[in-house]
Structure 1
Amino acid sequence: MFGTSGIRGPVGETVTADLALSVGRALGVDADRVVVGRDSRESGELLTDALAAGLRESGTDVLDLGLAATPTVARAVGWEDADAGVSITASHNPPEDNGIKLWQPSGQAFDADRRATISDRVREDAADLQPWDGLGSRREADARERHRAALVDAVDVADPPHVIVDVGNGAGGVTVDALQDLGCHVETLNAQPDGSFPARPSEPTAENCQSLATLVAETDADLGIAHDGDADRMRAVAGDGTYLSGDVTLALFARAAADPGQRVAAPVDTSLAVADHLAEIDVTVERTKVGDVYVAERVAGEGVAFGGEPSGAWIWPDATLCPDGPLAACRLVELAAERPLADRAAEIETYPIHRDSVEVGDKAAVMDRVRDLVADRYDDVQTLDGVRVDLGDAWFLVRASGTQPLVRITAEGREADRAQDALAAARELLETARK
């Protein structure tokens, strides 16, 4: 039922009010107070109502944040002394989808054991429903102001830059609040919440952020910030209009966060450029499975200063264990105020890297066949998450998406021809496995 980033899928098919009710009842078995918030999708209102009903039937009090960024919800669990938090969101997925993501008081997403417990309860229809005089309450709450204050306190911006923020019609308006409080000159794009995402698709990819990049390049803006629908992701544009890749952004954040001898956490699909850049200051990269929940688990360990994913999820354990897009925006503004992002990015040697996704009918069966094929053909193979093959001066990764019916391919080489060779090898493996 749960993928690595919670429950996601089409509304009315995978994600229904009945499912939300069942999750609420399952969560309410051992929770006295739960924080709930949603992104800008219209379906989020009815799903929140259904989830809240299941919680209240179980005697659980509900604190309803309404429209709220996912990191606001995650942080509010601890702030409100709650037992759990729930974000009604499909994050960067298209508007026809919605989902449910659960949070611990630490700000970390539910781990595998906790997700399994909720899944088992839903499947077994396990609940602890209360009589009429034992029902939980529901009241509105507002954590946006506290989140804004925490963001402002987390950074020091001596010379506030000019920033353009593309909110993506989502729930990330707290970023604008914080940057204005920091004294930045802030302009916005797509700031009106609208879960149909009329201005651009929710995921802030380079293609989807062309308007932002053009506006930054043609004005005196120092940088641009872009969020997805629930603002757990943050991507950026340098002052010259260059869209910063996820790997470059990861390297920038990690180098600023970590001291010599410390470690940073990053998933298996991260570029070698990150490790090479950090090695210059004696910082090492620990590889994790793909998914912010796995990065957060590693970041929670001693000596790990930062964790990030090239997709745009960034975690600073000194602040919270959830990916906080607004915090990432403020931290990047802090870096840009000290020195232009384009200059920082130019110091990171990058290598040709290719990422692709292939829709498949049965991704589990396809991946089983990929593993069998790789075992016969290659010696240096890692199976932490999917199948990663080291080719010496190149590598490729084939792994199933945790949230969609896709198999993803990543291939990189220190030279362009080797990257193409790795990509071709990965594609051939996948096509053979699909037959």
Structure 2
Amino acid sequence: MPLIKSISGFRGTIGGKTGANLTPEDIVSSVAGYADWLLRSGATPKVVIGRDGRPSGAVVSALTAATLQSMGIDVIDCGHATTPTVEMAVKTRGAGGGIILSASHNPKEYNALKLLNAEGEFISHEAGQDLINTVESGNITYAEVDDLGTIQHDTTALEDHIEAILDHSLVQVEAIRNAGFRIVLDAVNSVGAISIPPLCEALGVECTVMNGTVNGQFAHNPEPLPAHLQDLIAEVKTSGADLGVAVDPDVDRLALVGPGGQWIGEEYTLVTVADYVLGLEPGPVVSNLSSSRALADLAKAHGQPYYASAVGEVNVVAKMKEVQATIGGEGNGGIIDPRLHYGRDSLIGLALVLSHLATSKKSINELRGLYAHYEMVKDKISLEHELDLSEALYAMEALYPDVPKSNIDGLKLDFPDGWVHLRGSNTEPIVRVYAEAASQARAQELAGGVKARFIEMTQ
């Protein structure tokens, strides 16, 4: 894929030609641009790094650490670490920023540099554009020999992350321990295998691990969608487990399977957590425009306001801070609990789900049956040629004059019985097409109709 530079960081495939893929030259220039921005911002010259299980991780990490040191920045290397672990370590280690080396749900040939500020949160659009301009200008000055940075290997960041979850005011540790839960985890051969089991052990939960070798040789497509998790569904069904859990390679997305192999899905992870949190600490709820209507329905049932943000963790966090949300996240299974930190986190997500199960005395299947039922379709349109997406989406608006719409992030069409959201991806050369309705058939119909008109219009 082309090298993509966005507010999500720098992402591409390993190998190939400079400027067209994520090559060593691109990694060095991108990290140097970030380091230059960090130093100009006056932040502490210390950066936390951590990587998922991808085969390229060690090489990308070595290049990243050496470049930061060459810019006069001290490095705290967490090695194999989840995205939320790195985010939290930035603050607990007093660092000026962080770099997560993970391409999230993308296949193993991809990697990425995900850039954090001193709060352990993704950098702003303005900061991202600033450092991209610096990278493209090549106007970067490296440190002289006596000013090179140091490197320190941190082996306790995960322990601190788990300890903070155990101390969390809403995590019912004793109730979970007394419930005797058994779960099955699909760790997709990445860092979920070294982070979720220790959390389960601390909570007294029996955890059976599938795909638990941290080598980045993903046993299936790493995005936690039902089509990719049939083995997990089958294992939960045959084992009699209380819960099936799937995480993506960097463990910021959490999908659930109920007893008997019932697919709960990543969209209802946030709904389940919000139901539990709102019962104890009422307040505003936030998700992005591509998330299920079920969360808005739930908030209304609890008598609390719901707000939608543009897609992207940085946008959800900004909206959560603006409205002082008690819980938020993205419908892709990303739970953001501001009591812990402003980042998507599967570990706190799982702990809150288990707390809900333990205190309600209900199975996840029973809880799912209490929430509004919607079916979602997630499709895409490949961009094979140059396209002014803003202009194309503006033209699409005119094709639906009587349909309520939002254009704060692409184009969302709110039909009476469902919605369709089209937006350009921050990480791939595609247009994402998400749709939701009361049935899979209707969601497919809505998505297919809008997608066909878009393709026809842009050919």
> TM-score, length-normalised on structure 2?
0.89
Offset from partner CA, 1:243-299 (integer Å, 9 cap, x none) = 212332221111222368621111111222221222111122211111222112222
- The partner residue of 1:396 within 416, 420, 428 is 420
Deviations 1:170-201 (A, max 9, x none): 1122111011111111111111101121x222
Kindly state the Cα deviation for residue 365 of structure 1 after the two structures are TM-superposed: 2.2
240, 243, 251: which one pairs with 1:220? 240
Cα distance in 2, alignment partners of residues 22 and 337 from structure 1: 49
Is 1:156 equivalent to 2:172 in the alignment? yes
Instruction: Return the offset for 1:334.
Output: 1.9
> What does residue 68 of structure 2 align with?
55
CA distance in structure 2 between the partners assigned to 1:224 and 1:153 by the alignment: 24
TM-score by length of 1: 0.94
Instruction: After TM superposition, list the pairs within 5 Å mapping 1:277-356 onto structure 2.
Output: 277-338=298-359, 339-356=362-379
The residue matched to 1:150 in structure 2 has which SS? Answer: helix
Stretch of structure 1 that moved more, 171-180 or 153-162: 153-162
Q: Distance in 2 between matches of 1:263 and 1:27?
A: 34
Tell me the distance in 1 between the aligned counterparts of 2:87 and 2:277.
Answer: 22
Q: Which 10-residue stretch deviates more, 175-184 or 390-399?
A: 390-399
1:374 aligns with 2:397: yes
- Secondary structure, in 3 states, of the residue corresponding to 1:304? coil
Alignment RMSD, CA only? 2.0
Structure 2 CA distance for aligned equivalents of residues 195 and 261 of structure 1: 40
After superposition, what is the alpha-carbon deviation per residue over 1:348-400, rounded to whole angstroms, capped at 9, x for unaligned?
Answer: 12134322112122475245223213225324221011111222333222111
Tell me if 1:183 matches 2:204.
Answer: yes
1:1-45 CA-to-partner distances (Å, cap 9, x unmatched) read: 533432221112421221221222223231510011111112121
Is this contact kept in 2: 1:353–1:411, CA < 8 A? Answer: yes
Q: What is the distance in 2 between the residues matched to 1:351 and 1:24?
A: 42
Aligned with 2:101 (options 81, 88, 113): 88
Match of 1:412? Answer: 436
The answer for the alignment partner of 1:433 in structure 2 is 457
Q: Letter of the aligned partner of 1:151 in structure 2?
A: I
SS in 2 for 1:78: helix
Q: Is the 8 A contact 2:234 2:261 kept in 1?
A: yes
Separation in 1, partners of 2:436, 2:106:
26
Q: Secondary structure at the match of 1:48?
A: helix
Are the structure 2 counterparts of residues 261 and 178 from structure 1 closer, same or farther at C-alpha, using a change threshold of 3 Å? Answer: closer
Paired residue type of 1:361:
E
Q: 2: CA distance between counterparts of 1:27 and 1:360?
A: 29
Q: Using the alignment, how far apart are the partners of 2:85 and 2:441 within structure 1?
A: 44
CA deviation profile, 1:148-186 (whole Å, cap 9, x unmatched): 212222321312411112111111221110111111111
Identity of aligned residues (%): 28
Matched, 1:357 2:380: yes
CA displacement 1:81-131 (0-9 Å, x = unmatched): 000000111111001110000112323111211211221111112323121
Match of 2:188 in 1: 168
Which residues of structure 2 form unaligned runs of 5+?
none
